[in-house]
Each structure stands twice: as structure tokens, then as C-alpha cells.
Amino acid sequence: CMKGYVLLTVLSLLIVLTEPLSALPDKPAPPAAETPTENTADTKDTATFRVKNEKTGEILTLSEEDFLVAVVSCEMAPSSPVEALKAQTVAAYTYYCKQRAASPDGVFSNVPETLFTVGTEKGMRERFGDQYDKWHTLLTETVRAVKGQKLLYNGEPITACYHAISAGLTEKAADVWGGDYPYLQPVDSSGDLAAEGYETTVTVAPDKLTAALLTLESDFKADGDPAAWFQNADTTKSGFVKTVAVGNKTFTGGKLRTALGLRSACFTVQYKDGSFVFTVHGYGHNVGMSQTGAKYMANAGADYTEILAHYYPGTTLQ
């Protein structure tokens, strides 16, 4: 249980990593993934991807190569290790082939919002400036090196979730979404612990907290000493908050994360100087491949096949 704070154990590790420069999944998350989908055979393995911009209704049709260059440019900085970029490409291709196959007309919209802005040629030219030719060429060559490769489990493309920064141990999908995926289990990602952005803090005044939680539960109420508002936290093996009692209600860590604008559901909270101070570890849902962890592994000498095998155990690369 807890009084005024959620107790989580965090390991420390002295590792020097460069700052992630991605367009930040979960962010999102990743596209790949706030909600996994059921296994679906990839029956629409065409030469194009058709993606819908939910804001404008526009349907963008891109070749597989152009689509992957755009997506990878949104998900991971082109200055990242090439093997990490390859791993990201394969994960994205697997995920979106599955999305395409699951759609009756092959059109899907579960992509980073940035795909329609910074992921376009104009957006990349503005973002990369005089380095555009260099980075676009590198991304194109990376995509071509692994284009067509997918991760399979029992012969079908997997739900290849990924996220920006893990909490040091990735999450079991069942603990986040309820459905169990044999290849989305906790794996070590301790290389993330010293990454810039691994730990963030969010300070929330009691009245702001109340207002945020009222959007989740209209009859939410918390009286008395704010230091005792948070009680009985249940955490996962990876340290994420599954549920926690706040006042007269019990909330999932995921809902609190969304309502309070936290980077992840791996947090502690302490009442200090009249406000709640949330200390948050990681960035994203923590399921599947950590993009920061992939970079760490690549810098340590792993190739993309080793990275993918580590984060998606039991899968095969085809």
C-alpha cells in the first residue's frame, strides 16, 4: 500500500547514451501501438500503402519504400545507428502490413500524426535543411536493405509494438491491454536507464488533479490530507502502475497517465509543498521494442536481427 506516494523500485546504471531525436511515438506511442490487434493474415501485400489523414479525410497513397522512409523518419532520428534504423523499419513494416491486411479496403489511419507533416518530402526538407540529401539517402538505403522482411509468429505477422524509452524492463502486453501475446513479454532494456528523457517530473496542484480525475469519474471525490489521497498501488513486474486508489475511486495507471499528461504509467507520486509531484520513468506504453534500447544494442554491436529477436522473443524473420 502507499500513503502519499507510490513506491516503485528503480535500478541505476551508468551508461552514456545520446538524446533520442525521434518524432516520439506515443507520442506516441507508437502508432504501433496503443492497442494491439488480433493476428490477421497479410492478404493485401500490395506495392503500396494507403493511409488516411483523420483530420482532413485525405487518403495518401505511397509506395512501400516511400511509406517506410516517411514512417522511420518520424520514429527515429536518421543519425541513429543503422542497425537500429533497420530494426525500426522491419517492426514498422510488420505492423503496418498487419494494419493493411485487417482493413477491408486496405486503408488505415493508425499512423503517427507527423507522417502528414514532417514525414512528407517538404517536411523532411524543412527538418533536415542542408542535410536533407544525406539523411534521405541514408534512410532510403536502410529501407532498401531490409524492405519486405517481416516478423512472424506461427506463420503470421505479429503486432510489432514499439515505444520511445522503456523503464528498464519492457512490459507484458496483457498487463497493458489485457490480451496476451507470447512475443510481447518483459525483456531487459536496462540500456534505457541512463538515456536523456528517461526520468521526467510533473507537478499537479490538488485542484488540478481533482479536475483531471473528474473527467474520468464524474463522482470522484477526495477529502482530508492530500498526502493520503493515493493508496494501495498495484504494479506490474516492470514497475508500471496497474491500478491505484485515489480518494473514493480506483484508476488504472494508463488512465492516470492520459489524464495527467504523464509520459508513461511507470510513476511515483509524492505530496510536497502543496502539490503532487509525479516522477515518471520511460516514455510510452513500454510494450515491445524500445527505440532507445534498440539504439543502445546497436551501439554495443548488435545487428538488427539480434535487436528484433531480443524485443520480440519467439518470432521469426522472413
- DSSP letters of 215-264? TT-TT----S-GGGSEEEEEE-TTS-EEEEEETTEEEEHHHHHHHHT-S-
Q: Could you report the per-residue pLDDT of 228-278, keeping only the tens digit for each? A: 999 999 999 889 999 999 999 999 999 999 999 999 999 999 999 999 999
Given this model, what pLDDT does residue 158 score? 97
Q: CB–CB of 166/292 below 8 Å? A: yes
Given this model, what pLDDT does residue 41 score? 43
3-class SS shares of the chain: helix, strand, coil, % to 5? 35, 20, 45
Q: Could you report the per-residue pLDDT of 51-63, keeping only the tens digit for each? A: 999 999 999 999 9
Residue 95 corresponds to which cell in the numbers above?
Answer: 505492423
Are β-strands 316-317 and 199-204 bridged in parallel, bridged antiparallel, or unpaired?
unpaired
Residue 218 CB neighbour total at 10 angstroms: 7
Average pLDDT, integer, range 194-223: 97
| Whole-Å CA distances, 312 to 54, 93, 103, 157, 289 | 30, 14, 24, 12, 7
Given this model, what pLDDT does residue 179 score? 87
| Residue 71 clears pLDDT 60, i.e. is over it | yes
As a whole number of angstroms, the distance between CA 49 and CA 62 comes to 5
Residue 212, CB-side half-sphere exposure with 13 Å CA sphere: 17
Confidence bin at 46 (pLDDT 50/70/90) = low
Q: Could you report the per-residue pLDDT of 148-187, keeping only the tens digit for each? A: 999 999 999 999 999 999 999 999 999 999 889 999 999 9
Are β-strands 289-290 and 162-163 bridged in parallel, bridged antiparallel, or unpaired?
parallel
Average pLDDT, integer, range 201-225: 97
Residue 42, CB-side half-sphere exposure with 13 Å CA sphere: 24
Cβ partners under 8 Å of residue 38, min gap 6:
none
| Whole-Å CA distances, 177 to 152, 253, 255, 315 | 21, 12, 12, 20
As a whole number of angstroms, the distance between CA 37 and CA 66 comes to 24
- Residue that has been written with the C-alpha cell 506461427 in this structure: 154
Given this model, what pLDDT does residue 237 score? 87
| Residue 21 clears pLDDT 50, i.e. is over it | no
Higher confidence at residue 26 or residue 13?
Answer: 26
Average pLDDT, integer, range 22-43: 40
In the chain, the amino acid numbered 57 is G
As a whole number of angstroms, the distance between CA 261 and CA 212 comes to 10
As a whole number of angstroms, the distance between CA 22 and CA 40 comes to 29
Residue 311 corresponds to which cell in the numbers above?
Answer: 524485443
Confidence bin at 111 (pLDDT 50/70/90) = very high
Cβ partners under 8 Å of residue 258, min gap 6:
none
Higher confidence at residue 97 or residue 27?
Answer: 97
β-bridge partners, 188: 169
| Residue 16 clears pLDDT 50, i.e. is over it | no
| Residue 189 clears pLDDT 80, i.e. is over it | yes
Average pLDDT, integer, range 25-50: 50
As a whole number of angstroms, the distance between CA 125 and CA 142 comes to 18
What is the pLDDT of the chain when averaged over all its residues? 88
Given this model, what pLDDT does residue 22 score? 37
DSSP state at residue 205: -
Given this model, what pLDDT does residue 26 score? 44
Q: CB–CB of 287/161 below 8 Å? A: yes
pTM of the predicted protein model: 0.85
Q: CB–CB of 209/217 below 8 Å? A: no
